[in-house]
Amino acid sequence: MMWRDGVVLGLGRAWDGAVELDVEIRGGAPADPSAGTHAAPSAPSAQTPPLPAGTRVRALAYPELVGRPAPGDRVTLTTAALARGLGTGGYAMVVALPDRLPADPAPAPGHLVKARYTPLQTMLLGADEQESAHHELLRDADDLGGMPVVVADLHSALPAVVAGIRAVAPTLRVAYVMTDGGALPAWFSRTLAGLRSAGWLAGSVTVGQAFGGDLEAVSLHSGLLAARLVLGADVAVVAQGPGNLGTGTRWGFSGTVCGDAVNAVATLGGAPVASLRVSGADPRERHLGVSHHSLTAYGRVALASADVVVPRFDAGTDLEAALPAGLEERVRTQASSLAAPAGRHRLVEVSTAGLAEALADTPVGLSTMGRGLAQDPAAFLAAAVAGVHAARLAGPADGGSPSAR
């Protein structure tokens, strides 16, 4: 941990559950020269602590946890990830307003603790716990009734998947189930706030250690059931929050849980739809075409069969005409390892026709690994075709009520 004191100079953007701050660093503990020598070569120098007094930083506060900051407030920050340049959105994180602590919340039901045994553990009402109005509905629930569930590696796939669903059947109720592989607070996601504001989601469920959704659930299994039975979802999308974690190793990445999600959906009688993580612009060979994350999670972790949706790029738009030569064949060849005889999944080819327009009309910005729609269209088109296929499984293409499953 790297601690700093600061003073709020001004407020920036705000969205559901989060607010940006302009903060001036006023002080912090000096580096400890006796600390261990295990730091990576890229770590900040112990002799020159980063973020000295006088530095202005962009900070993020979650008012539900720390209260609502105002200009002039003193704030306690953690800054290690910011100093290391890691994927925190470029934020220092507000831990407390030490001179103006928020009042205790009013007595309320709920004893589900998330971010457990960390300094910011929070107590919530879980949809599946005994004090919940939904407990009886979920107590013996065990069946998704064939509901299609799109599983995606990156949070950035979420708006593209939903755009694909809406391109086929805009009246379908779509729920987002957020796992805890990335950000724990759902409030961190401007994408989620934007999709909710636009009416593109029926609601969200945060599962595991993640929190801040419209509903809370202990496990992915109970979260899926809550999406279906409480939110009334016709289709669900499962993906981690922002902030994918990876180490460049075969197994050291948070997306392995995509395979676990396929297993959970199948166990509960849903229809797993595997969205491929695809890129035509990633400079890393292991992520070019179909990412090794998808090949490992679906090929090695998933023990149940899923529909793996493979994009068939429509060359009729400028967006798709700009894709690298040979990308479609590369993706098809890589995905073939997931189907018989080598794998257990079914490959479903879906055309991207019409999806360039659908993606351009999303109510939130599209960005994956720092690249937008124009820079890496394959990433978003591959996610969108998974949404198209899920919508076709859920109901008719005319936007009417979903058919019986």
**Helix boundaries (H) for 88-244:** 135-139, 157-168, 190-197, 220-229
Task: For residue 2, give the nearest of 38, 34, 43, 37 by alpha carbon.
Answer: 43
User: What are 148's strand-pairing partners?
Assistant: 271
N residues, the chain? 405
State the pTM of this model: 0.92
Fold classification of 135-394 is Rossmann fold (3.40.50)
Q: Encode the chain (405 residues) as per-residue pLDDT tens digits.
A: 899 999 999 999 999 999 999 999 998 765 655 555 444 444 444 444 688 999 999 999 999 999 999 999 999 999 988 888 876 668 999 999 999 999 998 999 999 999 999 999 999 999 999 999 999 999 999 999 999 999 999 999 999 999 999 999 999 999 999 999 999 999 999 999 999 999 999 999 999 999 999 999 999 999 999 999 999 999 999 999 998 888 889 899 999 999 999 999 999 999 999 999 999 988 888 888 999 999 999 999 999 999 999 999 987 788 888 899 899 999 999 999 999 888 999 999 999 999 999 999 999 999 998 899 999 999 999 999 999 999 999 986 444 433 333
E strands present in 168-323: 174-179, 203-206, 215-216, 235-240, 271-275, 278-279, 289-290, 307-312
Q: Structural domain boundaries of the chain? A: 3-31+48-96, 135-394
The amino acid at residue 225 is L
Fold classification of 3-31+48-96 is OB fold (Dihydrolipoamide Acetyltransferase, E2P) (2.40.50)
